[in-house]
Each structure stands twice: as C-alpha cells, then as structure tokens.
C-alpha cells in the first residue's frame, strides 16, 4: 500500500489531527532508550496518536486485512528497541492516553489507560495511603502500558516482585481487531482461578500479541515506616555473602542494592559532597513495614552486616535516609563521569544471576570488561541477582562500539552459563532475540505456536522477541 493511501486511511479512522507523517516525526519515533536504536535507524511510515479502543480496533482490522505491521509505543524508555518499528508500518503512540479512570480504594485496585506514567499513578494513590509497588528507575517516564508489556520491576522487586503480580485484568485489542477483557469481564475480585490465565499471556509479550488499552491493577497499603542501611566492603565477595546471610536470618528487605568500586567513584565524581570512602563495594538496604518491625529488623541487619563491613550506618529519619540513598539515586546519571567525554550506553545491562553466583558474576564481568578495555560501571538490584552493567564509551568511536557489542554478547552468554537470564527487567525486544532458543529450549516452540494463533499474519510488533531465521 502506498504511503499516501495508508496515511489517508489512518486520518479517516483516527482524525487528521492524530496522524503524523513528516520525515522529522518518523525520525523521532525511530528511537527508544536502547543502544541499538542509536546504531540502526528503523522508522515507521505513519504515526497515529490513539486514545480510544474502538479507533484502535478499526486500525487493527485494517492492518490485519492489509498485512501492515503495527508497533505499539508508550514512552519509548525501553532499552531493547521494543517500541521502534523493525518493519516499518504503523506506529501507535499510546502515551497520550493517560487517564486514571478509577481508584477503587475499598477493593485495592485501580483502572488505568495505558499511557499513565508510573510516578503519576503513585502520586494519585498517595492520599489513599496506597501504592503500586513495582518501582522502575524510569518512574517519571515509563507508562503503565509499557510496564505491563515489559513486565517491569525495579528497586523493590526483591520484596514486592514485578508488574505481573499486580495485573488483575486487561482490555486488549487483538491483532485482527477483536477486543477482549481478561481476568473476568466485570470482575473486581482480587484473585480468580477461573480458566486459563490469559492476562499473563499479554504481560511481558512486549506488544507482540495485542494492544493493551486498559489495565486493572492491584495496589497495596503503604507501609507506615522505613529504614535505610548503607555499608562498605573491602572485598566484593563479602558483599555477596552478606546478602545471603541477611536472607538466612529471615529478613526480607524491600530493597538491596549494590554499587561496585567504579560506581562508587562515579557517584563521588558526580556529587563530591557524597564523599564515599574508597571500597570494593557498597550495599544499600531498605526495610519497610510497621515501626516496631522496621526497628527490629534494622537491629538484626546491623549485627549481620557489621561482621564483614565498614562504615555501617542505619537511619530512619527522612532527611538522613534520602541522603544515604542518594549514592544509589544518582548512579544512572553519574556513571558516565568515570571517563572524560564518554557516554553510558545500554548494552548487556540487565542480566539476572542466581543469588549464590552473584559474586562470581561480578568478578567475571570485571574480567570481560578488562579483556575489551571498556570501563563498565556495575550496580543494581543485588537482592534478586539483577545486575546493571553500564559500558562507558564514545559512541562515535566505531572500534569501541564494536567492542561493546562483543562485550554485551559475552555478558549475556555469562548469564545463561551461570543459570541466570539475559534480562531481569528490560525485556527481549530486538537485542536479546538471539538468546531466546538457548534460554528456553523447546518451550520457545510453544511460545511461537501461541504467538501464531494470536497473530497469524505476523503484523503485531514484528522483529521483537521471536528469533529471526538463522538466529
């Protein structure tokens, strides 16, 4: 189909004011936050801003009949190329559909449209003393539609899990335009075991099985109290052992984060007033709950940590907690500081390792970085084995780019070798497609059969998740 007739059809369905076609606009939508989208330019033919299920259903009916690829997009903060169109076609921008339809505080749930940004939802829940626990670093960008599609999580996943655990039901437009509601068409139940759990078919499907147009999310009462503990370690292994001991003592912190020596350096360069002493690793723990239980766990935690760590500090006052957490808070922006004029890129940044193998993984990542001569800042959610490895490079230097791609490949391979996963948060998208077979074996064949049943013409976000021939 010619571009003009495709654009004309979209204008007829969605209204001309919601359709973009200029080259400059297409260029804007060729990026997400991945390293990949900075290297390979993938542009849509037409962008449609949508906030209506019936309009989306008509677009999908048309795309299905004419076999036109459709890529859904939230905020584009994904790091795997998931929301850039690998195969041209229509890009559906859902970020403008940001309505919180209902906060049903009595039934501990909310009904939202896909474009609601994570931090805004939690602000809206605050007066009800409720919160939606998954907590990505991209809280001020990520949309609920993107979070559900990537099954996102973050700092508090060690205690509260990922988005999937909170999705009670979805409204989805299927690739042929049919609209379904999962989790019970008029249900407000907190749980249900009626039938096959179709909700989970779309959570984490990265927009390859349908367009999510409404989300029914479970929310939780906000814990009354918090405490933060920070500690420094001269041996990386000691930090890993300490995390295991904390769990063995029956404590379940709401966050356990690690900064390696390079990350500590980056934080100090970015904010000299932090003045963190030189160490091989820093651990940060968050405990939440009611006040007596936070105090109790805080005491226990200190006893365990003091065995191996130095500079241990525990705080429960708001200002001091904010100060202690700052080292972790700044690291995303700070990491590039360790090399003059360089940039942090997202490549091999998201592996998950079995807990007991975290110290081994940290050592091996450092060896891989040394082999390629690339500085890699390591930090992340060590409590659930989810490591963020941040290569710091000059993206204009072709040699460094090539070396970074090879380094990322080795890090992905390391995760599989150690019995982990290539992605704990950010998803598969384009960049982790080649590891799907190795990670899933013949379970991938069943995934592919399900995908084919839902999307027989392969129009839904093609080029993502599912390995291409030869991969």
Residues that bind ligand FAD (CB under 6 A): 32-33, 71-79, 82-83, 94, 114, 136-138, 141-143, 145-147, 149-150, 152-154, 206-207, 211-212, 332, 425-426, 461, 464
Which lies closer to ligand FAD via its Cβ, residue 114 or residue 385?
114
Which lies closer to ligand FAD via its Cβ, residue 14 or residue 315?
14
Which lies closer to ligand FAD via its Cβ, residue 31 or residue 128?
31
Which lies closer to ligand FAD via its Cβ, residue 146 or residue 391?
146
As measured in angstroms, the least distance from the Cβ of 127 to ligand FAD is: 25
As measured in angstroms, the least distance from the Cβ of 386 to ligand FAD is: 9
As measured in angstroms, the least distance from the Cβ of 300 to ligand FAD is: 27
Which lies closer to ligand FAD via its Cβ, residue 141 or residue 407?
141
As measured in angstroms, the least distance from the Cβ of 107 to ligand FAD is: 23
Q: 337 CB contacts (<8 Å, ≥6 apart)?
A: 266, 269, 270
Which lies closer to ligand FAD via its Cβ, residue 256 or residue 305?
256
Token pair belonging to 31:
């990026």
Which lies closer to ligand FAD via its Cβ, residue 32 or residue 410?
32
8 A C-beta contact, residue 94 and residue 144: no
As measured in angstroms, the least distance from the Cβ of 159 to ligand FAD is: 15
As measured in angstroms, the least distance from the Cβ of 447 to ligand FAD is: 15
As measured in angstroms, the least distance from the Cβ of 162 to ligand FAD is: 8
Q: Sign of torsion, CA 325 344 153 382?
A: negative
Provide the β-strand partners of residue 72: 92
As measured in angstroms, the least distance from the Cβ of 299 to ligand FAD is: 30
Which lies closer to ligand FAD via its Cβ, residue 211 or residue 305?
211
8 A C-beta contact, residue 132 and residue 110: yes
Residue nearest to ligand FAD (CB): 146
As measured in angstroms, the least distance from the Cβ of 259 to ligand FAD is: 15
Which lies closer to ligand FAD via its Cβ, residue 68 or residue 279?
68
């Amino acid at each position: 189909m010619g571009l003009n007739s495709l654009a004309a059809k979209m204008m007829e369905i969605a209204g001309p004011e919601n359709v973009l076609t200029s080259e400059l606009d297409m260029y804007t939508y060729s990026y997400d936050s991945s390293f990949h989208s900075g290297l390979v330019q993938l542009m849509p033919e037409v962008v449609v801003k949508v906030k209506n299920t019936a309009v989306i259903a008509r677009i999908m009916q048309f795309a299905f009949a004419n076999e036109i690829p459709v890529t859904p997009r939230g905020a584009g903060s994904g790091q795997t190329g998931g929301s850039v169109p690998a195969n041209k076609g229509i890009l559906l921008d859902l970020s403008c559909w940001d309505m919180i339809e209902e906060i049903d505080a009595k039934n501990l749930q909310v009904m939202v449209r896909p474009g609601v940004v994570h931090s805004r939802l939690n602000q809206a829940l605050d007066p009800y003393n409720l919160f939606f626990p998954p907590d990505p670093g991209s809280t001020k960008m990520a949309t609920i539609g993107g979070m559900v599609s990537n099954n996102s999580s973050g700092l508090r996943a060690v205690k509260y899990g990922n988005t999937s655990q909170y999705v009670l039901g979805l409204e989805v437009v299927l690739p042929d335009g049919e609209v379904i509601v999962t989790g019970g068409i008029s249900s407000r139940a907190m749980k249900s075991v009626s039938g096959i759990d179709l909700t989970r078919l779309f959570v984490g499907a990265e927009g390859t099985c349908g367009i999510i147009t409404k989300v029914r999310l479970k929310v939780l009462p906000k814990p009354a109290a918090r405490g933060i503990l920070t500690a420094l370690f001269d041996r990386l292994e000691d930090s890993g052992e300490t995390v295991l001991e904390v769990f063995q003592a029956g404590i379940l912190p709401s966050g356990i984060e690690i900064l390696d020596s390079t990350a500590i350096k980056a934080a100090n360069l970015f904010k000299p007033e932090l003045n963190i002493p030189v160490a091989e690793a820093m651990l940060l723990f968050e405990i939440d709950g009611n006040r007596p239980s936070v105090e109790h766990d805080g005491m226990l935690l200190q006893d365990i940590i003091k065995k191996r760590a130095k500079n241990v500090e525990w705080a429960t006052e708001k200002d001091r907690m904010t100060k202690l957490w700052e080292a972790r808070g700044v690291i995303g922006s700070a990491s590039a500081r360790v090399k003059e004029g360089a940039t942090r890129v997202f490549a091999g940044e998201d592996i998950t390792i079995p807990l007991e193998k975290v110290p081994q993984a940290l050592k091996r990542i450092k060896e891989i970085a040394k082999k390629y001569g690339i500085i890699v800042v390591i930090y992340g959610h060590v409590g659930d084995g989810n490591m963020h490895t941040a290569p710091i490079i000059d993206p204009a230097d072709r040699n460094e780019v090539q070396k970074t791609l090879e380094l990322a490949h080795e890090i992905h391979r390391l995760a599989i070798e150690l019995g982990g996963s290539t992605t704990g948060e950010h998803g598969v998208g384009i960049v982790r497609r080649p590891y799907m077979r190795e990670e899933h074996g013949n379970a991938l064949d069943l995934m592919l059969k399900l995908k084919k049943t839902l999307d027989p013409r392969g129009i839904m976000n093609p080029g993502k998740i599912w390995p291409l021939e030869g991969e």
